[in-house]
Homo-oligomer: A and B are copies of this chain.
Amino acid sequence: MKIRIGILGYGNLGRGIECAVRQNDDMELAAVFTRREPSSVKILTEGVNVYSVNDVEKHKDEIDVMILCGGSATDLPKQTPEFVKYFNVIDSFDTHANIPKHFDSVDAAAKASGNVGIISVGWDPGMFSLNRLYANAILSDGKDYTFWGKGVSQGHSDAIRRIDGVKDARQYTVPVEESLAAVRNGENPDLTTRQKHTRECYVVVEDGADKDRIANEIKTMPNYFADYDTTVYFISEEELKANHSGIPHGGSVIRTGKTGWNGENTHVIEYSLKLDSNPEFTSSVLIAYARAAYRMKKEGQSGCKTVFDVAPAYLCRQSGEELRKHLL
């Protein structure tokens, strides 16, 4: 009997989930739910229905784990506590500051329904968080660093697109190589925002737009760009399509720390990702945690969980015996 996966929201992430389910033969895609008119949504998997999100309750018994693919700003704060009433759910809620509040609201609903809801799954929050935790548990006297990129920041790209005269844009977050090297070398540098990342912007403008003004508006934009060394490249729409249509990302979580009777030895722990497709990798993480949610629920667990609460063995289809034999 396969784990029946539902997808709620069919954008980049939903499509990534669909692909990831196909790669895991202990799972099957049961249904896709959308806010759009269902007949207008074409999915890749043959023989699977697309339903309106309004009918979700009717399909309560057809789905073991529902993956919520909405956004963190407005969708998930409502959706996750709502849908955990009917399903085990996984979300990728990534507004770090609001995680405690989101946890509480999902936890209350999940405990009431007896389902499992795993929140903030993905790579940051998610795998990066896990690696921060493991490294902190091991090196109690140490320092954490997180570098992102080189990769596309959707939020920063959107911020550029809102500027008058801009037709399209793609923003890459790029770690500063010298800083990364110093951290890897165990030098424990104190780094400002500017010393950690630079920002590269590829911008397509409307005919006759004032490029100087646009470049200046980008570079001085508070929060998004003002604290960074930002480079703006004006390119054609064709060039943007040809060279910047992917959604790569990645980064490194590094902790350096000291051990010994007098802190005489230094250690460097690094976890790094190089991702061709941010949404597809995120989806692959979500799917592994869907397996965990399914098993935890079967064991009688309920409530809200994060990656910190899930024993690693739950993520794999193999038995404990097989895991010890082949991966330990």
Contacts and interface: CB of A to CB of B under 8 A. Distances in A.
Contacts of A267: 273-277, 280-281, 284
Contact of A139 (B120, B125, B130, B284): B284
Contacts of A131: 271
Classify the interface of chain A: helix, strand, loop or mixed: helix
Interface string A264-294: 0111111111111100110111001001000
A202 interface: no
A44 B260 CA distance: 11
A9 interface: no
A217 to B, nearest CB: 33
A186 B99 CA distance: 34
A280 B306 contact: no
A259 B22 CA distance: 10
B316 A309 contact: no
Contacts of A271: 131, 269-271
A73 interface: no
Interface stretch (A157-165, A222-230, A320-328): A320-328
Interface of A: 16, 18-20, 22-24, 44, 96, 99-100, 103, 120, 125, 127, 129-134, 136-141, 184, 186, 259-261, 265-277, 280-281, 283-285, 288, 291, 306-313, 315-316, 320-321, 323-325, 327-328
Given A134-B312, A137-B288, A269-B272, 17 more contacts: A19-B259, A19-B260, A120-B328, A125-B328, A127-B134, A127-B138, A133-B312, A138-B281, A259-B284, A268-B273, A268-B274, A307-B312, A308-B320, A308-B324, A309-B311, A310-B312, A311-B311
10 contacts: A23-B140, A24-B140, A99-B328, A125-B328, A129-B327, A134-B312, A259-B280, A260-B277, A270-B272, A270-B274
